[in-house]
Structure 1
Amino acid sequence: MATLTIKNITKRYGPVETLKGIDLDLADGEFLVLLGSSGCGKSTLLNIVAGLIEPSGGDVLIDGQSILRVHPKDRNIAMVFQSYALYPNMSVARNLGFGLEMRGVDKSARQAAIEKVAGILQIDHLLDRKPAALSGGQRQRVAIGRAMVREPKVFLFDEPLSNLDAKLRVEMRTELKKLHQRLGTTIVYVTHDQIEAMTLATRIAIMRDGIVQQFAPPQEIYERPANLYVAGFIGSPGMNFLHGTIEGSDGGSSFRLAEDGNGQPAHLPLPAHIVGGAKPGQAVVLGIRPETISLALGQPSVASGIAEIAALIDVLEPTGADTLASLKLGNTQITARLRPADVEQPGAVARFQIETAKASLFDPASGLRIN
């Protein structure tokens, strides 16, 4: 295992700055996921760590030692590519051991390493096959095994599951999680898939336009997004955003929305920890996760951290265990994740409860979280 420090890394291509001062610090055995949409700079950063691209500024350290002037083959890093990059004319066993062979490791040591890794990845029955005779998942295991036999300090994964079908991606995601728990090796993993990031990472770095927007554990990012971009990027469906103002009184603060489902102004009481430093009259954006919205049954709730609002049911999308309901509040559209048994028919106006204790408040000008 090893620590990994990325210190003020920048990368320029002429006048274009792709990375704008990236700072990340990983402890031994962490699983870092670099998450973002295409063009955000995540693969560029990974290739800088691997030594395939030279940075314009900054430093990369493993166990406190700079590796920028170290040749890629000497950095004790192993990389798993999106395309697998297996040798088609070699057997699985030869693919696994070829890197060790090139380093002059003797045959008995190579064979022991191959058998050990093949057992861990459950591909020991495939050692005599060529890559063309393997499924996509089996090829991916071989690519991971080729990296494992070197026993590197740091693993780098560049969107390794993107070529697999949906079912196999879920299976391989679970296998990667088990593998990390078993080996405890430091991993840097690039993906644009938020589900992969949430399920695999110990910490996620969400990137946009060459800047890290938030670097935190998955649950913290989900519950306390640092800004509107992170809040909208994480979650499926994404977070709902309501534009309104803060109103204050002796009884506490509330969020004022221009229109509810009946076309009337709505006031949603907010707990003090959600309001933070927001002042009465201040324009804000209230962020609400779909699963914190439910159909109001029985008498109106007076519980703290719960608010009620009338909403017009526009569209229903059954997904099996849940039904996604598209609701209209005046000109604002939001999504609720409901139990199928609680669903009303489209076109009806119904009362809904919102767990405002789990809401987020943002400044519409800066996009930053208020509290």
Structure 2
Amino acid sequence: MATLTIRNAQKSYGNIEILKGIDLDLDDGEFLVLLGPSGCGKSTLLNMIAGLETISGGEVLINDRVVNNVHPKDRDIAMVFQSYALYPNMTVGRNIGFGLEMRKMEKEERNRRIDEAAKMLQIDHLMDRKPAQLSGGQRQRVAMGRALVRDPEIFLFDEPLSNLDAKLRVEMRTEIKKLHQRLKTTMVYVTHDQIEAMTLASRIAILRNGEVQQFASPQEVYERPANIYVAGFVGSPAMNFIPATVVNEEGRFGVSFERTAHGNRGSVYLPLPEEHQALDEWVGREVVLGIRPETLTHRSDAEIALNPCLQPFECQVEVLEPTGADTLTYIEMGGEEVIARVNPYNASSPGETMSFMVDMGKASLFDPRTEQRIN
């Protein structure tokens, strides 16, 4: 196991900056997910950790040892690729143990490690098959087994599940989670899938245009996103963003915006909880109110009586999207299309006015100019 430190890591190709000074600190046994869209620099950063890409500036440290100029084979890391990269002419067992064979490991120890990894990944019954005889999920398990037998300080995963269908992705995601819990080894995992990131990570680093937007636990990223980009990237459906104005009514801060109800336009005032009460400089100014769909739902007077952060209002329903457990209800707030998660039995028909409630204790406020979180 190992710690991983990245200090001001930079990567440029000529005048093109790919990574613009990345700082990350990973504790022993943590699971870091590098999350972001294609082209944000996450795979480049992973390759720099592995030694497959040279670093233009800054440092990469494994166990407090600078490894900028250390050859990949001497970094004690193991990498699982998106493409599996299996040898087609070798059996599963030989694929798993080939790296150990090249290192001249004793046959007895080599076979012990291969058998142990195969049992852990539940592929011990496939040892004599060739890759062409395996499913995508089985091939990915073989690729993981090949990394596992190395017993490395750090595991690196480069979008390992992107070639699998939806059902297999879920299954393999669970296997990787179990693997980390068993081994307690430091892991770095690259993906553009925010569900993978949320379910696997100890901490997530969200990248955009070569810069870290937020580095925090999945729950903190979800509940307190650092900026509008993070808030919109994490969560499905994405967070609602509503143009609003900060107001002070009788000494209590809140937000006000336009909405449609009973076929007519009008304004809604929603008071903010006490933790948002340091907004003097924002009174009368525009903000972006961020509300996740699951915190906006049908009105329940019983719940409102128990939770003072739940604020009721009425709004006209535009569109319904039944999903089984919930009905996604589209309404208009502040001139923007907003999604609420509603119990199917409480949803009103399109064109009707419906009573909603929103948990303002879970609301986020952003500066519309900088897009950064206000508090």
Same fold (TM over 0.5): yes
Contact 2:242/2:334 (8 A) holds in 1: no
Deviation at 1:2, TM superposition (A): 0.3
Distance 2:8 2:190 in 1: 19
- Equivalent residue, structure 2, for 1:313: 317
Q: Kindly indicate whether residue 354 of structure 2 is the aligned counterpart of residue 355 of structure 1.
A: no
Distance 2:172 2:298 in 1: 37
Q: Of the candidates 365, 368, 373, which is equivalent to residue 369 of structure 1?
A: 373
- Equivalent residue, structure 2, for 1:279: 282
SS of equivalent residue, structure 1 residue 258: strand
Cα distance per residue 1:179-205 (max 9 Å; x no partner): 000000100000000000000000000
Deviation at 1:329, TM superposition (A): 2.8
Deviation at 1:102, TM superposition (A): 0.5
Q: How does 1:182-331 map to 2 (within 5 A)?
A: 182-261=182-261, 262-277=264-279, 279-297=282-300, 301=304, 304-329=308-333, 331=335
- Relative distance call for 1:181 and 1:301 in structure 2 (3 A) is closer
Deviation at 1:265, TM superposition (A): 1.4
Q: How does 1:1-371 map to 2 (within 5 A)?
A: 1-261=1-261, 262-277=264-279, 279-297=282-300, 301=304, 304-329=308-333, 331-371=335-375
- Work out the percentage of aligned pairs sharing the same amino acid: 61
Deviation at 1:114, TM superposition (A): 0.4
Which range moved further: 313-322 or 93-102? 313-322
Deviation at 1:308, TM superposition (A): 2.0
Distance 2:59 2:365 in 1: 36
Distance 1:82 1:299 in 2: 50
- Relative distance call for 1:312 and 1:249 in structure 2 (3 A) is closer
Distance 2:105 2:260 in 1: 71
Segments ≥4 residues shifted beyond 6 Å:
none
Query: What TM-score, normalized to structure 1?
Result: 0.97
Contact 1:276/1:370 (8 A) holds in 2: no
Amino acid at match of 1:29: G
SS of equivalent residue, structure 2 residue 5: strand
Cα distance per residue 1:123-182 (max 9 Å; x no partner): 111111101111111100000000010100000000000000000100000111000000
Contact 1:260/1:266 (8 A) holds in 2: no
Cα distance per residue 1:96-131 (max 9 Å; x no partner): 110001111111111111011111111111111101
Distance 1:71 1:367 in 2: 41
Deviation at 1:311, TM superposition (A): 1.5
Deviation at 1:297, TM superposition (A): 4.4
Number of matched pairs: 371
Distance 1:340 1:300 in 2: 18
Distance 1:224 1:260 in 2: 29
Distance 2:278 2:106 in 1: 64
Contact 1:308/1:352 (8 A) holds in 2: yes
- Relative distance call for 1:290 and 1:211 in structure 2 (3 A) is same
Amino acid at match of 1:305: C
Contact 1:263/1:329 (8 A) holds in 2: no
Distance 2:245 2:308 in 1: 20
- Relative distance call for 1:145 and 1:94 in structure 2 (3 A) is same
Distance 1:142 1:274 in 2: 51
Amino acid at match of 2:266: Q
Which range moved further: 87-96 or 272-281? 272-281
